[in-house]
């Protein structure tokens, strides 16, 4: 016996069956799992990299590639160890050793057998943030003149060494330092041309055992060997100790300013002539 079903009935039944099947199909919930992408050792072939590098307009940006988190190199040409000058000066009158680090932290170790001069070298290191080491012996049984002079000559030579070609530095420094009633202004130029303009009116001949005339001689000797233009002006002051100490503090801050790097200069020599050297 043949069973006869109309096509309309068959189509209706099939549609209903399909609808019922879809409704009865279990729903599958998909969980999204984050899988970290490991950087590829060779994401591109050498040929592809060569083609990309030859096209200056191409920019590669891909989060799956290794990222370089190394900070950019500093614009200043200073090294990790700092700009250091070291000089030994030996004569029949003195034996002097000086070491200075322009990129120091203010460490000082001075022994010149002249207590007041040691105190002033402390000011230079502390306020300039230079590391200053000085060892000196001399004929102080005569007076302090030769030791004071040779320490300054050696310090100026060490400064000259530490500056090198003077690339990238500010070159100029200017500072006014007060100390109670005293006020001293110092302006300097690391030009390579030695010149001292000195205008201090120190009222006493000595501070302790130190001859106050030796202050000018100290700076003249330092200027001569470092190739520095230096102007020192007393704006106020009555106490000899205050005047001299304010002078060394102002000099230290002006020198610090001049020897520090100018980031906008990008390591170039701060001169329209293109060179700064000891004349």
Q: What is the pLDDT of residues 191-204, one digit of tens each?
A: 999 999 999 999 99
pLDDT for residue 268: 76
Among 16-25, 100-109, 121-130, 172-181, whose mean pLDDT is lowest?
A: 16-25
Q: Residue 40's pLDDT band (boundaries 50, 70, 90)?
A: very low
Closest C-alpha among 186, 127, 193 to residue 160: 193
pLDDT for residue 20: 54
Among 30-34, 104-108, 170-174, 182-186, whose mean pLDDT is lowest?
A: 30-34
Q: Which domain holds residue 206?
A: 84-259
Count of domains observed in the chain: 1
Is residue 56 included in any domain, yes or no?
no
pLDDT for residue 9: 42
Please state the rounded mean pLDDT for residues 215-221.
Answer: 98
46 vs 147: which has the higher pLDDT: 147
First to last CA, the chain: 127
Share of the chain above pLDDT 90, in %: 62
Above 90 in pLDDT, residue 159? yes
Please state the rounded mean pLDDT for residues 206-220.
Answer: 97
pLDDT for residue 265: 83
Is residue 278 included in any domain, yes or no?
no
Closest C-alpha among 26, 29, 5, 9 to residue 17: 9
110 vs 23: which has the higher pLDDT: 110
CATH no. for residue 141?
3.30.230.40
CB 118 within 8 A of CB 110: yes
Is residue 58 included in any domain, yes or no?
no
Is residue 55 included in any domain, yes or no?
no
Is residue 18 included in any domain, yes or no?
no
Above 60 in pLDDT, residue 124? yes
134, burial (CB in 10 Å: exposed 0-12, middle 13-18, buried 19+): buried
pLDDT digits (tens, 9 = 90+) for 53-90: 444 444 333 344 444 444 444 444 444 578 999 999 99
Is residue 206 included in any domain, yes or no?
yes
Supply the pTM of this predicted model.
Answer: 0.71
Is residue 275 included in any domain, yes or no?
no
Is residue 6 included in any domain, yes or no?
no
């Amino acid at each position: 016996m043949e069973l006869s079903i109309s096509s309309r009935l068959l189509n209706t039944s099939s549609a209903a069956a399909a609808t019922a099947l879809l409704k009865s199909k279990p729903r599958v919930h998909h969980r999204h799992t984050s899988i970290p992408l490991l950087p590829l050792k060779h994401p591109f072939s050498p040929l592809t990299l060569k083609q990309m590098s030859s096209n200056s307009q191409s920019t590669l940006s891909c989060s799956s590639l290794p990222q370089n988190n190394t900070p950019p190199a500093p614009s200043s040409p200073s090294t990790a160890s700092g700009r250091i000058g070291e000089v030994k000066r030996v004569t029949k009158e003195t034996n002097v050793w000086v070491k200075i680090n322009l990129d120091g932290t203010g460490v000082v170790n001075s022994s010149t057998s002249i207590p007041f001069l040691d105190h002033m070298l402390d000011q230079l290191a502390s306020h300039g943030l230079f590391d200053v080491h000085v060892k000196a012996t001399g004929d102080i049984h005569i007076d302090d003149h030769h030791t004071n002079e040779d320490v300054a000559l050696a310090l100026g030579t060490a400064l000259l060494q530490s500056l090198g070609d003077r690339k990238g530095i500010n070159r100029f420094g200017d500072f006014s330092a007060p100390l109670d009633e005293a006020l001293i202004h110092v302006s300097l130029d690391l030009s390579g041309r030695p010149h001292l303009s000195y205008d201090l009116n120190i009222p006493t001949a000595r501070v302790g055992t130190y001859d106050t005339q030796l202050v000018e001689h100290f700076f003249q000797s330092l200027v001569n060997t470092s190739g520095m233009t230096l102007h020192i002006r007393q704006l106020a002051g009555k106490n000899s100790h205050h005047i001299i100490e304010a002078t060394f503090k102002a000099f230290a801050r002006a020198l610090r300013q001049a020897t520090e790097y100018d980031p906008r200069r990008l390591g170039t020599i701060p001169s329209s002539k293109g060179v700064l050297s000891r004349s």
